[in-house]
Amino acid sequence: MLQAPFFVYFIEIGETKKVHMKNYLTLLLILLIGGFIHETNAQETKKWAIALHGGAGYYPKDSPSERTQAYMESLEEALAVGTEILENGGSALDAVEATIQYLENNELYNAGRGAVFTAEGKNELDAAFMHGNTLNAGAITGVTTVKNPISLARKVMEESNHVFFATDGAETFADQTDVERVDPLYFRVEEKYERWKRRNAGQGYNHDDTSSENSWKMGTVGCVAVDSDGNIVAGTSTGGMTNKQFGRVGDVPIIGSGTYANDLVAVSATGWGERIMLNVSAHALAMHMKFTESTLEESMSYLVDDLLNPKEAGFIAVDKYGNISMRTNTGSMFRAAADSEGMKEIGIWED
C-alpha cells in the first residue's frame, strides 16, 4: 500500500498527478482482479474426508476369493464406522480412534486381536495418535494387555504430560486409565500362530520372500481424517514385524516416521518399519508439501517413488482441504476412503 507522504507528493505536483494517479488506480485494479482470480482458483475445502489402511505388502491376486471378500467387506465396514461419525458432525479424533478400534478387533489384520508373533511367540502391540492442529501426540510400544492400543495412545496424548510410553511403563500408565484390558492370550489367533511356527523354523524373517506361506509380509492398520471443524488427525496401530527380536520398536509409534500430522496434512504408514524410520517418512511427506508448496499427490509421489525403494511401504494421507492420497510401492495395500462429496474407494491392488 502507498504510504501517506508518497500519496501527498502526488497531490502536490499538480497536473502530473493525474497521470500518476491513473496509473496507480490501474495497478490497484489489476491487483484486485488478480486477488479475486486467486481466491476463485483456491482449493475448495470439503466438509470432511477419511482414509484407512489395513497393511501393505504382497497379497497375490489369485488368493482365495473368500479371503479377499472378507478383506473387502471388513474395509467397507471400517470405513462406515468413521464415515458415520464425520457425517453426523463428529470429530476426526473420534472417527480415527473408532475406525482403528474396529480394525484392531478384526483378526484379519496385524493389530490388536490379529497381531503377529515375536521371535519369542508373543504378541506385543504399538500405536500412535496425533492431532495435527495442536501438534500434540501420544504413542505406546510393547503393550500386551491393552485390547485397543490406539485408545491408550490417544489417552497418552490427552491425559499425560508425555508423548511416548514403552512396555511396562505403558502398562502402568494404562492402569491409571479406563482402557479395556485383556489376558495376553486374547491376541493369539491360532491360525496365525501355526503360520508363525511354520515360517519361523529358525529362519528369521525374510522381506524378499513372496511365497504363499509369507504372502502377507507387512501389516499395520491406520486411519487419517479431517472433520468439518478443520481438525486433522492421524492414527496407526500394529503388532509389529513377524519374528521381531527382543525390544524391537518399529516405525508406528515413532512420531514422524509411521505417524504424523500437522495443520496441513495427516499421514499413516505401513510396510517395512526400518525403512520407514530411516526416511522419517510421514514427516518427510508433510515437509515436502510445506516447503515445496506441492500438492498432496505430488508429495506422495516424491515419498513413494523417489525417497523409498520399491517393495518397502505404503501410505495414506489427507490434507486440510479434504484431498486424499493412498499409495504403495509394494504391489498391494488394503485401503478405503470417502469424503463429503460422495467419493468412496475400497481396494487392495495398485493396478
One of 141, 220, 238, 259 is an active-site residue; which one? 220
Residue 75's pLDDT band (boundaries 50, 70, 90)? very high
d(CA 282, CA 266): 8
- Mean predicted confidence (pLDDT) in 97-126: 95
Q: Determine the average pLDDT of the residues in 295-305.
A: 98
| Average confidence (pLDDT) over 55-72 | 94
pLDDT surpasses 80 at 172: yes
8 and 63 belong to one structural domain: no
Q: Same structural domain for residues 54 and 136?
A: yes
Which domain does 142 fall in, by range?
A: 49-349
Parallel/antiparallel/unpaired status of strands 136-143 and 164-166: parallel
> What are 88-109's pLDDT values in tens digits?
999 999 999 999 999 999 999 9
342: domain CATH number is 3.60.20.30
Provide mean pLDDT across the span 8-36. Answer: 49
What SS3 class is residue 267?
strand
pLDDT range class, residue 301, cuts 50, 70, 90: very high
- What does 32-99 look like in DSSP terms, one character per residue? HHHHHHHHHHSPPPPS-EEEEEEEEE---TTS-HHHHHHHHHHHHHHHHHHHHHHHTT--HHHHHHHH
Q: Which residues pair with 164 in a beta bridge?
A: 139
Residues 128 and 84 occupy one common structural domain: yes
Residue 36 confidence (pLDDT): 45
Per-residue pLDDT of 224-266, as tens digits, reads: 999 999 999 999 999 998 888 999 999 999 999 999 999 999 9
pLDDT at 41: 44
Q: How much is the pLDDT for 200?
A: 75
Q: Are residues 236 and 99 in the same domain?
A: yes
Mark whether 192 and 318 lie in a shared domain: yes
pTM of this structure: 0.85
Tell me the three state secondary structure of residue 344: strand
231 and 308 part of one domain = yes
236, 137: one domain: yes
Give the count of alpha carbons within 13 A of 1, CB side only.
2
Total count of domains within the chain: 2
> Look-up: residue for cell 453426523?
88
Same domain, 25 and 137: no
The predicted pLDDT at position 22 comes to 55
Higher-confidence residue: 200 or 28? 200
Per the model's pLDDT, the better-predicted residue between 262 and 206 turns out to be 262
Q: What percent of the chain has pLDDT over 90?
A: 76
Is 172 assigned a catalytic role? Answer: no
Instruction: Answer yes or no: is pLDDT of 207 > 90.
Output: no
| Digit-coded pLDDT (tens) for 76-88 | 999 999 999 999 9
pLDDT band, residue 198 (cuts 50/70/90): confident
pLDDT for 32:
58
Q: 153 — phi, psi (to 5°)?
A: -60, -40
Do 137 and 12 belong together in one domain?
no
109 and 200 inside one domain? yes
* pLDDT tens digit sequence for 260-289: 999 999 999 999 999 999 999 999 999 999
Read off the pLDDT band of 8 (50, 70, 90). Answer: very low
Residues 21 and 64 in one domain: no
Residue 209 pLDDT grade (very low, low, confident, very high; cuts 50, 70, 90): very low
> In terms of domains, do 291 and 221 share one?
yes
